[in-house]
Structure 1
Amino acid sequence: MAIDPVRLSKFLSFVLRHQPDAIGLVLDPQGWASMSELIEKGNASGVQFDREDLLRVAAASDKKRFSISSDGLCIRAAQGHSLSVELGLLPREPPPVLFHGTATRFVGLILSDGLKPGARQHVHLSLDETTARQVGRRHGKPYIFQVNALAMHSKGFQFYRADNGVWLTDHVPPEFLAPSSIMTDSATTSRQPKLST
């Protein structure tokens, strides 16, 4: 019986992003896991899957959550790690504007402190408002911020682009944030910041 791909994707996200030791898996410093070891330890933990299942889930993930090594022997999460890994991404110049989706209940804190990575290694930013809105919906009523990424970059902030196209940075100060143009609930905050240039 084939494993549910959603269940396998959630399992892979858990062990490759957060707790590989939950199944006795060891990631290398760049976050890579041997597929054969992952299969063996995953099956021993009660989650039954094989190499074809791994490749199918990696290929079918709408957000390209997983990367396969060039030799086809290893897999890793593209981003979103709460454990320390060095993805080997080089700093890049970002697009002028990126987007961040959150829930309306976090808006006040973000306007005060900016965007912080929380339990993850980086702040995650999207190329488009639609993707950011989908991310925001996972946390509650969505609120979308525009991030003046190019202005940040010009002031020395570093940006990285993950294998799946998600943009990463360490922190976004409040002065580089503004509400997105597709916001539908302007009453969520009385403060309407303008993008710093």
Structure 2
Amino acid sequence: MPARNAHERTSRFLSLILRHAPDKIGLALDPNGWADVADLLDKATRHGTPLTLDTLRDVVAGNDKQRFAFSEDGTRIRASQGHSLKSVDLALAPAVPPPVLYHGTASRFITSIRQSGLRPGSRQHVHLSTDRDTALKVGSRYGVPVVLEIRATELHGQGQLFHQADNGVWLTAAVPVRFIDFPAK
């Protein structure tokens, strides 16, 4: 189990640095969220989180949610989605979503969602999945899970933009209440 724990710690570290706080280690992201791999390895190690290229490759390849991606030439890395940094634009092309997408949340947030819909909070986008099981897993991270159905095609038809991240996660700015189907009580 120690290897798994190290893998998870590295993944959490990369999420923090590549999504929210590259300045914590003095790393620069380009406008599309890419960081130079050699620079990341050097700065992470100098700031107390030793990383090797092999470890980085293992974490990227082994991440079940494919949170991170290398550039085609392998010299750059970025988070696939989930950025709170407003300066990052993943440059994803708008896409037509499937009829229904799912959002996993915790039951304690349902009252607020019923009032205000889904908002990105500190992130740039609301994250949606194509399957109920993934949404259930996401919701489980925050408490008693609830899976919401989003009438994505209908929302898209009203002019709402959707994007699909490299790892398959669907992104949109917000979801008004009228496009959310809540589970029966």
Q: Establish whether TM, by shorter chain, passes 0.5.
A: yes
Which residue matches 1:121? 124
Which residue matches 2:60? 58
Which residue matches 1:148? 151
| Match for residue 80 of structure 1 among 79, 82, 91 | 82
CA distance in 2, matches of 1:49, 1:91: 35
1:1-197 counterparts in 2 under 5 A?
Answer: 4-84=6-86, 85-180=88-183, 186-187=184-185
CA distance in 2, matches of 1:105, 1:59: 34
TM-score by length of 2: 0.95
> How far did residue 127 of structure 1 move?
0.6
1:123-172 deviations in Å (ceiling 9; x for gaps) = 00011000000000111100110000000111100000001000000010
CA distance in 1, matches of 2:147, 2:51: 37
Which 5+ residue runs of structure 2 have no aligned equivalent? none
Query: Aligned with 2:105: secondary structure?
Result: strand
Q: Which amino acid aligns with 2:161?
A: Q
Misfit runs of 4+, over 6 Å: none
Which residue matches 1:183? none
CA distance in 2, matches of 1:39, 1:49: 6
CA distance in 1, matches of 2:94, 2:56: 29
Q: Which amino acid aligns with 1:135?
A: V
CA distance in 1, matches of 2:104, 2:80: 19
Q: How high is the sequence identity, in percent, across the aligned residues?
A: 50
Q: Which amino acid aligns with 2:79?
A: A
Cα RMSD after superposing both structures = 1.3
TM-score by length of 1: 0.90
Q: Which amino acid aligns with 1:95?
A: P
1:23-64 deviations in Å (ceiling 9; x for gaps) = 010100000000000000000011111111111100000000
> How far did residue 179 of structure 1 move?
2.3
Which 5+ residue runs of structure 1 have no aligned equivalent? 181-185, 188-197
CA distance in 2, matches of 1:150, 1:112: 22
Q: Which amino acid aligns with 1:152?
A: L
> How far did residue 4 of structure 1 move?
1.2
